[in-house]
Homo-oligomer: A and B are copies of this chain.
Amino acid sequence: MSDSEILLGEFRRTIDDRYRLSIPPELADQLHKEGSELVLAKERPGCLGLYNSTPWQGQLDEAVDWVADKVDAGKLGGQVDDLLTLGRLLSTRHCEVQLAGRGRLVIPEGFREFLGVAPGDPVFVVGAAISVEIWNPPAWVSYLEDRMPEFRSLLTQLSE
């Protein structure tokens, strides 16, 4: 059960001249199987994350409600700046998308620059357990060099 719900795999794809990119079927099926909408998020420069919107929406609503309650209650204290920042990030960070025909994702304006790709460029599509990520190749390589040494300790840490 749970084993087949983990999104895994690394694939090389190229960005269309119209900023479209085909998601590998094994990942797309799993993301889309619930029939729900998808959410594209700016994870970090050079990396976009593609989530199933239902779990995502739940967490997000929770966070927003929590902040809204605080605002209503008037107990923001000195956290106004933080609130403003959070609002800005919430506004720009994600966007609802859907896979077009042939399992193709159109990368929206604003996300293109963040991903740092031009039409015709290659990217890596990577399964990240609960999401599918699109990586700019240099960012991916550099990330791996950085984090790969942690692998074994992470696995054992999360296993016990």
Contacts and interface: CB of A to CB of B under 8 A. Distances in A.
Interface of A: 2-3, 6-10, 12, 49, 57, 59-68, 76, 80, 82-95, 109-110, 126-131, 133, 143-144, 147-148, 150-151, 154-155, 157-160
A144 B45 CA distance: 13
Contacts of A92: 10, 126, 144
Given A12-B109, A65-B2, A128 B158 contact: no
B83 A158 contact: yes
A144 B129 CA distance: 28
A99 B158 CA distance: 31
A89 B158 contact: no
Contacts of A68: 2
B6 A87 contact: yes
Given A63-B155, A129-B83, A89 B8 contact: no
B89 A151 contact: yes
Nearest to A111: B10
A150 B90 CA distance: 12
B6 A64 contact: yes
A59 B129 contact: no
Given A2-B64, A64-B2, A65-B2, A130 B89 contact: no
